[in-house]
């Protein structure tokens, strides 16, 4: 019998993030805004605030991936130095002004966005040893903004800043070692650099150390240590870490299982716009885990995540429309949302597209298309799709009938613990389908399926 893929699930999604900031050289005045001491020149290297008696621009920094394009920063209203004033200071050789000018050109603050001009002024500041400028040059190369993308150049410039103790550059060096971008992949080196940044209180690095312990990358797997590092970052408001704390509570990893605590931490992250957490909040409402069951709330949170392009949430929206639980059943809408997720490579959604084609729900029935989508999911290890491919071969639906192939695919799914496939393997042994008839072996597989 064809089995429909399991859709509403708790997903463990680890996001490796990198956050960016700015510093300048040491100097004899303290910033009244961010508290950074020892600033030199006219602008704070920590936040861009002007020295006493000069207007300032204040930058608010958010979490970012190493390749993210979102690089906008808030400028403090009513207390901003004009571009002309900045230019005079920058021309006079003020490194912090040169950095600030580069920043404004990079982000189009008070002027048209111009990556070439940004690079020009960052390089002037970097030549004076300004770590924040060195970091930003690395970022331009990392993302290919105004220059050809070059991970080796990015790594070189991140390292210049990192060697000066610039925490966010140290974290990005760790990311480069983790991904093998601009340098040979090395999880142990990645962890070493994360640790340098984390010891300075960098929340993104703390979360990344948690990831290393959670997955056992560069260090022996240790859920207790993972939870500890996630918590350090989460308490600083890091949304990815807050979501990861929720995962630990759901799975009882490094901490006792507690759905109420999981929901609390998922919500903290979701309210910051973390799409993975928004999906998990939807799952909690859908299943009534840690919060009262509420299908309308579930749909609302799934949609928040889905609209950000979260494939798991898009698949879940499809399932809600398919099942008609908490919303009017609509196969056309189900197919539409499954396809959004399937086109992103989501295996569950690909299996569900196959199921839609098999049954002609939301789309014209087409066994060959069904098999095509089942195969996409099966190649990613989706057990339900593997089972359904076996069924297609057994019955010659969308492909020539082939009992040996049917048995092979049933076995792939059964070895992953799929109950329907386990039963189907028993059926094959009982009836000699694609394998020599063996009633004892059949009974053994039937017992496994119970």
Rounded Cα–Cα distance for residues 118 and 148 (Å):
15
Among residues 147, 167, 187, the one where a domain terminates is 167
Which has the closest alpha carbon to 48: 63, 60, 62, 64?
60
Pairing of β 63-64 and β 18-19: antiparallel
Instruction: Give the CATH number of the domain where residue 99 resides.
Output: 1.25.40.10
Residue among 446, 440, 442 nearest 430 (CA): 442
pLDDT (average), residues 251-275: 98
pLDDT at res. 54:
26
The whole-number average pLDDT for the span 107-119 is 96
- Three-class SS state of 18: strand
Q: Dump pLDDT digits (tens) for 150-182.
A: 999 999 999 999 999 999 999 999 999 999 999
Which of the four pLDDT bands, split at 50, 70 and 90, describes residue 39? very low
Can you name the residues that pair with 39 across neighbouring β-strands?
26
Per DSSP, the three-state class of 364 is coil
Q: How far apart are CA 51 and CA 35, in angstroms?
A: 12
**In whole angstroms, what is the distance from residue 34 CA to residue 154 CA?**
28
In a domain, 51, yes or no: yes
Task: Judge whether residue 11 has pLDDT over 90.
Answer: no
Can you give the pTM of this predicted structure? 0.79
| 230 phi, psi to nearest 5 deg | -55, -45
Mean residue pLDDT across the chain: 86
Q: What's the pLDDT score for residue 73? A: 36
- Measure the CA–CA gap between 259 and 246, rounded to whole angstroms: 8
Q: Taking each helix axis from N to C terminus, what angle separates 383-395 and 347-359, rounded to the nearest 10 degrees? A: 30
| Least confident piece of the model among 26-35, 37-46, 374-383 | 26-35
Q: If 0-12 CB within 10 Å is exposed, 13-18 middle and 19+ buried, where does residue 184 land? A: exposed
pLDDT at 136: 98
Residue 24, pLDDT > 50, answer no
| Average pLDDT for 244-254 | 98
Give residue 6's pLDDT.
32
pLDDT band at 62 (very low <50, low <70, confident <90, very high): very low
Asked whether residue 153 is assigned to any structural domain, the reply reads: yes
Domain extent at residue 437: 383-450
The stretch 385-413 carries a mean pLDDT of 97
Domain boundary among 143, 167, 191: 167
Residue 155: inside a domain: yes
Q: What is the pLDDT of residue 326?
A: 87
Six token digits for residue 266: 């998922």
Count: domains in the chain: 2
Residue 76: pLDDT band by 50, 70, 90 thresholds?
A: very low
- Residue 17 — φ and ψ, nearest 5°? -120, 155
Quick one: pLDDT at residue 440?
Answer: 97
Residue ending a domain, choose from 167, 195, 215: 167
Per-residue confidence band for 80, with pLDDT thresholds at 50, 70 and 90 = confident
Q: What is the mean pLDDT of residues 345-350?
A: 98
CA distance to 15, 194, 268, 271, 417, per residue, from 305 (Å) = 15, 29, 14, 11, 30
pLDDT (mean) for 225-250: 98
State the virtual CA torsion across 274, 275, 277, 282 in degrees, nearest 10.
Answer: 140
Q: Is residue 442 situated within a structural domain?
A: yes
Portion of the chain with pLDDT greater than 90, in percent? 82
124-149 per-position pLDDT tens digit: 999 999 999 999 999 999 999 999 99
Lowest mean pLDDT among 51-55, 183-187, 357-361: 51-55
Over residues 7-20, the mean pLDDT reads 29
* Band of pLDDT at residue 309, cut at 50, 70 and 90: very high
Instruction: Give the pLDDT mean for 4-16.
Output: 30
More confident residue, 133 or 326: 133
Q: Return the SS3 of 39.
A: strand
Instruction: Give the pLDDT of residue 271.
Output: 98
Mean pLDDT calculated for residue range 41-54: 39
Residue 111 lies in a domain: yes
Alpha-helical regions (H) of 32-114: 83-91, 95-107
Q: Domain for residue 350, yes or no?
A: no
Beta bridge partners of 64: 18
């Amino acid at each position: 019998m064809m089995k429909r893929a399991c859709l509403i699930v708790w997903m463990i999604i680890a996001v490796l993030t990198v956050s960016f900031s700015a510093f300048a050289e040491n100097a004899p005045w303290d910033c009244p805004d961010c508290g950074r001491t020892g600033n030199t020149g006219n602008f704070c290297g920590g936040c861009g605030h002007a020295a006493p008696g000069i207007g300032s621009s204040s930058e608010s920094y958010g979490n970012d991936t190493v390749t993210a394009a979102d690089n906008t920063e808030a400028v403090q209203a009513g207390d901003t130095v004009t571009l002309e004033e900045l230019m005079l200071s920058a021309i006079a050789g003020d490194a912090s002004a040169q950095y600030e000018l580069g920043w404004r050109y990079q982000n189009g603050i008070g002027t048209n966005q111009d990556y070439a001009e940004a690079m020009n002024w960052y390089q002037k500041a970097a030549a004076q040893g300004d770590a924040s400028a060195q970091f930003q040059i690395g970022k331009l190369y990392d993302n290919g903004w105004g220059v050809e993308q070059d991970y080796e150049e990015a790594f070189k410039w991140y390292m210049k800043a990192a060697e000066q103790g610039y925490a966010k550059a140290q974290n990005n060096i760790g990311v480069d070692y983790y991904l093998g971008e601009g340098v040979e992949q090395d999880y142990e080196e990645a962890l070493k650099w994360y640790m340098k940044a984390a010891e300075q209180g960098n929340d993104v690095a703390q979360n990344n150390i948690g990831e290393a312990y959670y997955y056992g990358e560069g260090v022996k797997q240790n859920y207790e240590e993972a939870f500890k590092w996630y918590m350090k970052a989460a308490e600083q408001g890091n949304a990815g870490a807050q979501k990861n704390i929720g995962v630990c509570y759901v799975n009882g990893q490094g901490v006792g299982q507690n759905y109420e605590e999981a929901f609390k931490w998922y919500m903290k992250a979701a309210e910051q716009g973390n799409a993975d957490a928004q999906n998990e909040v939807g799952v909690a409402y859908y299943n009534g885990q840690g919060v009262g069951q509420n299908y309308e709330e579930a749909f609302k949170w799934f949609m928040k995540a889905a609209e950000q392009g979260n494939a798991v949430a898009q698949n879940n929206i499809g399932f809600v429309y398919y099942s008609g639980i908490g919303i009017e059943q609509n196969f056309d809408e189900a197919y539409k949302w499954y396809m959004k997720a399937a086109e992103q490579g989501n295996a569950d959604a690909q299996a569900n597209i196959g199921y839609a084609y098999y049954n002609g729900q939301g789309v014209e029935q087409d066994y060959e298309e069904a098999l095509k989508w089942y195969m996409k999911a099966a190649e990613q290890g989706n057990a339900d799709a593997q089972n359904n491919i076996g069924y297609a071969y057994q019955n010659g639906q969308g492909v020539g009938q082939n009992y040996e192939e049917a048995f092979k695919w049933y076995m792939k799914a059964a070895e992953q613990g799929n109950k329907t496939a386990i039963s189907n393997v028993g059926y094959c042994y009982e009836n000699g389908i694609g394998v020599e008839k063996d009633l004892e072996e059949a009974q053994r597989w039937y017992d496994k399926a119970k």
